[in-house]
Structure 1
């Protein structure tokens, strides 16, 4: 006999597509009941660049001589046909991110540099865990910062969604969250497979002993049972927007459909992999540039798709760590510390590079090799939460962390 599931185990299972359970857009049957208070908060979206994205290539300090000395084949130029796009101060934007320049000029895109964990962590697994748990150095944290930002009271069934195959660490926790690879797949199938999914969920639900879990689980099951594929078809983008092919474009398109559908979405997460560039990284062209084009094109299309609704949405683009200042012998970069972060959307005071950044001379680097984490990654996240999750207890979201004075990301 299997032991009964705990409340947390079942809630995690609801978000894990690997468990063989296809959840349903039938959640839409009750999501429209979200309160005006929640609607006023808008939506917080995180895009995690997995693999440790090179902040010095995303936002190169093209006027820093030490940057060019350290990267003879990877440094982006400040002028010429393949130059970085001019931002503020000594900084440029990778030309693969050109689709984001209109947002920068319109003041809807802000950039941060030198962002990372307070202590160097060069393991992908550990660094991602610490960033997403929001508790650097503490591996035993059971939940993630994004889940802890949600109210404990039950909200709309689609209040927290991951547009990716599995639930990310940041959304683990007691507040219900679901994951889906594609919106069209997020439903109970008809016929034998659908019956199996229903029985599987019922058995999972029946194994729970926590009354609060029974309530939450039954509510989710009832919502799934309200599947209406016609409603799913109506969750279309409101503009004729061309999203780029790849991982991120289709996910952000589906996210835009949920936002247009006014389903009570409060927080959402997705990701883009492929940023671990140890060899043949490239400068204005190559593997890194291709990832940049996908990222920039998807974010720009998402903003265009949302139109005026972008004012109620904040998008945060972050990674687990940056890369070494000096390129390696394989014309790539190795695991570093500080990297870049993007914040875009409603209320953002864009057109500016935020955070401390110093010339990349060796004596100013972390361990003589890396961009330091001059800005703790939790600081801008806390600032975003003050806007998108007003009233949230930041000491609960980031226990043991005292946010510094605000960076001023929002007007």
Structure 2
């Protein structure tokens, strides 16, 4: 595992956050630091957002193969009925709770890759998430994450900027661990800066101590100016941030997370990669069908993503957002109205350069003899192929052997959703 002291330092404060609001509040020195060194993504203004659906979402009810007769035989009470799905292409349809992102598909911004997943057959949440975040299925010795390595593999790469890689949460996620410094932000509105000395808030003292001991040229080299800049940013009051006209984010943790990602990106601080996650997908019992437990999670998921896309406005043309989950769920429902740990799943890719309005991937079928181990949707697209294309096209990560060691993938083998 990576050095936990380093992770805590890169995360600024466990449970704290860094307030970054808008370009009007950015001190000149911070702007200079961000713009001093250009990477591929920074030069093209492209940004990659990665969302992890933790807990294994049911891809078969998220992107429904409603023309598969066996789908309905295997799911007598939890299947989404044909008249309820949001039709995509005459064979697949979205769960009705995902109506917010259906227009993005229709407009050609959203692509779906079905039957995607890991070649590793583990049904352990912990192991499967670790393998997907490290990008090395079946290898437990990997110490860093695929997205961190993707940033290392950019052409024209020099030294990282302070806000190049950000994660919404209390700690750096496995996906972003590695040599490139990343920042964990739990909640922008919670970060407070008090006075000096005895009057300083504990979080302020800890933050100041963190950058005082840091050897990073951006955080440490600017000294008191850095700390004063944080106060200036905080003074703008992130709670007053207003999304674009007409945009309403869900009041959920995930909705707030994507709202803050948009806030950071619109502040022009040089964010190239952002990570967020959303849990609640482990639906072993009472999963529901068009309504219920899964439907509620899918509505939050899709409403939040749609709000983020609209909030980014014209800048959305430079954003690529990709979703992933550790594995899918069984094709057959279980005896408690739910689904158990499966194999293949569906991934979403949203963005300005995306060739959307299409469901990609080779469909393996749901006939009994086509199922993996007689129980799951079979993987036909390695998840690394999807992530490799997103990193290559968005971040400019040309050395894919660095990003996914042990996995040979060339651009001519991409899915070509971008």
Alignment of 1:285-324 (within 5 A): 285-324=291-330
Tell me what 2:366 maps to: 360
Task: State the TM-score, normalized to the length of structure 1.
Answer: 0.89
Tell me what 2:128 maps to: 127
| Cα 1:376/1:254, change in 2 over 3 Å | same
Alignment of 1:171-182 (within 5 A): 171-182=176-187
| Cα 1:343/1:150, change in 2 over 3 Å | same
CA contact (8 A) 1:86 1:92 kept: yes
CA distance in 1 between partners of 2:200 and 2:43 (Å): 33
| Cα 1:43/1:224, change in 2 over 3 Å | farther
Deviations 1:60-118 (A, max 9, x none): 10000111111001111111xxx110012411100010001110110000011111111
CA distance in 1 between partners of 2:15 and 2:321 (Å): 30
CA contact (8 A) 1:31 1:156 kept: no
Tell me what 1:218 maps to: 220
CA distance in 2 between partners of 1:204 and 1:14 (Å): 6
Out of 61, 65, 68, which is 2:65 matched to?
Answer: 61
Tell me what 2:159 maps to: 154
CA distance in 1 between partners of 2:200 and 2:372 (Å): 54
The 3-state SS of whatever aligns with 1:226 is: helix
Alignment of 1:171-250 (within 5 A): 171-190=176-195, 194=200, 196-201=202-207, 213=215, 215=217, 218-219=220-221, 223-227=226-230, 228=232, 229-231=234-236, 233=238, 236-250=242-256
CA contact (8 A) 2:287 2:294 kept: yes
Which contiguous aligned blocks of 4+ residues in structure 1 show a shift greater than 6 angstroms?
205-208
Tell me what 2:417 maps to: 409
Tell me what 2:344 maps to: 338
- Give aligned pairs, total: 398
Tell me what 1:163 maps to: 168
- Which deviates further from its counterpart, 60-69 or 240-249? 240-249
The 3-state SS of whatever aligns with 1:353 is: strand
CA distance in 1 between partners of 2:306 and 2:314 (Å): 14
CA distance in 2 between partners of 1:20 and 1:291 (Å): 24
Tell me what 1:269 maps to: 275
CA distance in 2 between partners of 1:264 and 1:219 (Å): 18
Deviations 1:205-260 (A, max 9, x none): 6778xxxx454662587634421124555864333411112121111111111111
Q: CA deviation at 1:149?
A: 1.4
Out of 313, 327, 334, which is 2:333 matched to?
Answer: 327
Q: CA deviation at 1:316?
A: 0.6
Question: What are the ranges of 5 or more consecutive residues in structure 2 without an aligned counterpart?
Answer: none
The 3-state SS of whatever aligns with 2:335 is: coil
- Which deviates further from its counterpart, 249-258 or 321-330? 249-258
Q: CA deviation at 1:49?
A: 0.6
Deviations 1:334-366 (A, max 9, x none): 011111100001110001001111220121111
CA contact (8 A) 1:282 1:288 kept: yes
Alignment of 1:16-95 (within 5 A): 16=11, 19=14, 22-23=17-18, 25=20, 29=27, 30-31=30-31, 33-34=34-35, 37=40, 38-79=42-83, 83-95=84-96
CA contact (8 A) 1:252 1:302 kept: yes
- Which deviates further from its counterpart, 45-54 or 153-162? 153-162
The 3-state SS of whatever aligns with 2:111 is: strand
| Cα 1:21/1:183, change in 2 over 3 Å | closer
Give the aligned CA root-mean-square deviation in angstroms: 2.6
The 3-state SS of whatever aligns with 2:72 is: helix
CA distance in 2 between partners of 1:326 and 1:193 (Å): 61
Q: CA deviation at 1:180?
A: 1.4
Q: CA deviation at 1:14?
A: 2.5
- Which deviates further from its counterpart, 195-204 or 302-311? 195-204
Tell me what 1:13 maps to: 8
Question: What are the ranges of 5 or more consecutive residues in structure 1 without an aligned counterpart?
Answer: 1-5
Is 1:137 matched with 2:138?
yes
Q: CA deviation at 1:408?
A: 1.3
| Cα 1:199/1:231, change in 2 over 3 Å | closer
CA distance in 1 between partners of 2:192 and 2:396 (Å): 32
Task: State the TM-score, normalized to the length of structure 2.
Answer: 0.88
CA distance in 1 between partners of 2:201 and 2:221 (Å): 19
